[in-house]
Amino acid sequence: MNKLNVVILISGYGSNLKNIINYNKKKEININITCVISDNANANGLKIAREENIETCLIDNKKELGQELDKILANKKMDLIVLAGFMKILPPNIIQKYFGKILNIHPSLLPKYPGLNTHEQVIKNNESEHGATVHFVTEKLDGGPLIIQGKIKIKNTDTIKCLKEKVHKIEYEIYPIAINWFQKGLIKQEKNFFIFKNKRIDKPIEHILG
Ligand code: GAR
């Protein structure tokens, strides 16, 4: 199978990036990370990419994000854009141009809790469960077709910090699965729908944690 050319966008720590790199090394996915792009010069994820000899690119925040990203992405070999903790909203020109080729991971059981501070909100609202979701990106913030989710039960003793850790562990399982499915052509985005093995699926696939 041909290697999938993937561009990864990050803003911060980059543990999902590191995890994807590790899965690739273990050959559990078969991708070529052509570039790691960040809007934050101090992002630890950039350090991780450099240590792995992956090309990095810094977004100039003084320029308009849509034009800046368009310019950067136009020069990259790319079959898929993976948002891994990219904290800026992708501009519409990018979403339209690369429609069906952009995945995002979000730390909640979407459609619940789009946006920021998801762990704080689930605790405040006494939710009984929490998790992470991989979805295709559309212009609706964290609102594109849902692909795969992993869930955990929330305990009374759970803090924001420990929920963040537990959700990260889920993310490390479900993002490589989604990338692998994309590579094998098993998942597609058609308009606002998620297609899995040529069938329209209205709910995300539930991943049982390993
Ligand atoms: C992850 O939990 C990811 O789901 C979240 O940022 C974290 C990045 O962690 N993304 C968002 O909130 C996007 N809306 P990492 O930098 O260690 O991979």
pLDDT in tens, 69-92: 999 999 999 999 999 999 999 999
Answer whether residue 1 shows pLDDT above 80: no
Instruction: Note down the domain range covering 88.
Output: 4-207
User: Which CATH number covers residue 68?
Assistant: 3.40.50.170
Spacing, Cα 107 to ligand 1 middle (Å)? 7
Give ligand 1 pocket residues (Cβ under 6 A): 10, 12-16, 45, 84-85, 105-107, 168, 171
Spacing, Cα 49 to ligand 1 middle (Å)? 16
Total count of domains within the chain: 1
CA–CA separation, 179 and 3 (whole Å): 12
Q: Which two tokens stand for residue 88?
A: 């800026």
Spacing, Cα 104 to ligand 1 middle (Å)? 9
Listed in sequence order, the residues at least 6 apart from 195 whose beta carbon sits closer than 8 Å to its beta carbon are 187, 188, 189, 201
Per residue in 126-172, pLDDT (tens digit) is 999 999 999 999 999 999 999 999 999 999 999 999 999 999 999 99
Q: Note whether 32 and 104 are within 8 A (CB).
A: no
Burial of residue 143, with CB atoms counted within 10 A of its CB: 0-12 exposed, 13-18 middle, 19 or more buried: middle
